[in-house]
């Protein structure tokens, strides 16, 4: 099955913009890209989803280029509370979901 690839970890400082890229070379026509955030001792929670171009909500932005083989989650002006694991999910009309390893973001003061 197709899978996604993300960096294992990233460090940032408070107030900076953080961009986490996910590669999905085998993306299918009906696949969407969804990002989840997970804090320690909690289940993951939905952040943002897109199909192509740019999507923005109150938490983040998601950039998907025309070829859709990658996507970038952008977190503006991170704070310490954004320290978490971020998962990229590529999936369409299927029950089988492959989340991958996730990216551990550490925000430092």
Sequential DSSP letters for 36-49? EEE-TTS--EEEEE
**Beta carbon of residue 28, minimum distance to another protein (angstroms, whole number):** 11
Q: Which residues bind another protein (CB under 8 A)?
A: 31-32, 34, 36, 41-46, 49, 87, 89-102
Of 16 and 49, the one with the shorter C-beta distance to another protein is 49
CA distance 88 to 103: 9
**Beta carbon of residue 95, minimum distance to another protein (angstroms, whole number):** 4
Is 12 in a helix, a strand, or coil? strand
Of 80 and 97, the one with the shorter C-beta distance to another protein is 97
CA distance 55 to 62: 5
**Beta carbon of residue 12, minimum distance to another protein (angstroms, whole number):** 20
Contact 106, 9 (CB under 8 A): yes
Maximum pairwise Cα distance, the chain: 41
Of 24 and 75, the one with the shorter C-beta distance to another protein is 24
**Beta carbon of residue 109, minimum distance to another protein (angstroms, whole number):** 26
């Amino acid at each position: 099955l197709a899978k996604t690839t993300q960096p294992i970890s990233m460090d940032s400082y408070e107030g900076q913009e953080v961009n986490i890229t996910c590669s999905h070379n085998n993306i299918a026509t009906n696949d969407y890209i969804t990002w989840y955030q997970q804090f320690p001792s909690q289940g993951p929670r939905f952040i943002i989803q897109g199909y192509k171009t740019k999507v923005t909500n109150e938490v983040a932005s998601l950039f998907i280029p025309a070829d859709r083989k990658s996507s970038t989650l952008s977190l503006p002006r991170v704070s310490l509370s954004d320290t978490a694991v971020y998962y990229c999910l590529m999936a369409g009309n299927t029950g089988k979901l492959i989340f991958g390893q996730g990216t551990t973001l550490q925000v430092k003061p």
